[in-house]
Amino acid sequence: MDSENIEGEVVLPTAIKILVAGGFGVGKTTLVGAVSETQPLHTEEVLSERGVGVDDISGVETKTTTTVAMDFGRISFGDHLVLYLFGTPGQGRFWFVWDELALGALGAVVLADTRRLPDCFPSIDYFERNRLPFIVAVNCFDGARQYSLDEVRLALDLDPDVPLMLCDVRVRESSKKVLINLIEHVMNGRGSTRKPQAVGH
């Protein structure tokens, strides 16, 4: 993807790293797969008896796999900007990898499911604690009870400057709007002023 500027010098593309976080079964893998221009990398394993009593699948009983390390996808914008997406594992027993995934991240998307809204609290707490800019996107599942954005903001106790939106991560354009919203949030200075660096260290 190297290109040359007017003087003939090689210009390397700028890389931006974004995290996609949220609770178990909220749609992180689906969002990464919906927007990635390449075949996304998934580290999914089939749910087994080992997770019984450990993994809470209430509300997502049909889910048969879980991300154990990360999801990874890539989007290119022209020749000079590459967006790398890292989907975090949603279960508490895999959170030890979060600090490594968050290294150098520009910001994060926290996906929320109204059927299991408390599941996104750990993600919100993590990004607030590490001063990493984030937005919250409510993934609208079929058959799930719908709430107004004001009700969701109140339930999550979100600061007024944290963007909150609805989405359907199965739809590419909807997922793209989520990422655009995050980037605009960071560029407009409403998020943390912390420069990308080692998070959690």
| Strands 41-46 vs 65-77: parallel, antiparallel or unpaired | antiparallel
Residue 198 is assigned to a structural domain of this protein: no
Residue 192 is assigned to a structural domain of this protein: no
- Per the structure, the complete domain to which residue 149 belongs is given by 3-187
Residue 25 is assigned to a structural domain of this protein: yes
Residue 183 is assigned to a structural domain of this protein: yes
Residue 57 is assigned to a structural domain of this protein: yes
Could you give the CA distance from residue 119 to residue 122 in angstroms, rounded to a whole number? 7
Domain count, the chain: 1
Higher pLDDT, 48 or 30: 30
Residue 46 is assigned to a structural domain of this protein: yes
Bridge partners, 86 (sequence order): 19, 72
Q: What is the pLDDT of residues 174-186, one digit of tens each?
A: 999 999 999 999 9
Q: What is the pLDDT of residues 119-174, one digit of tens each?
A: 999 999 999 999 999 999 999 999 888 899 999 999 999 999 999 999 999 999 99
pTM assigned to the model: 0.75
CATH number, position 167: 3.40.50.300
Residue 29 is assigned to a structural domain of this protein: yes
* Single-letter code of the amino acid located at 175: S
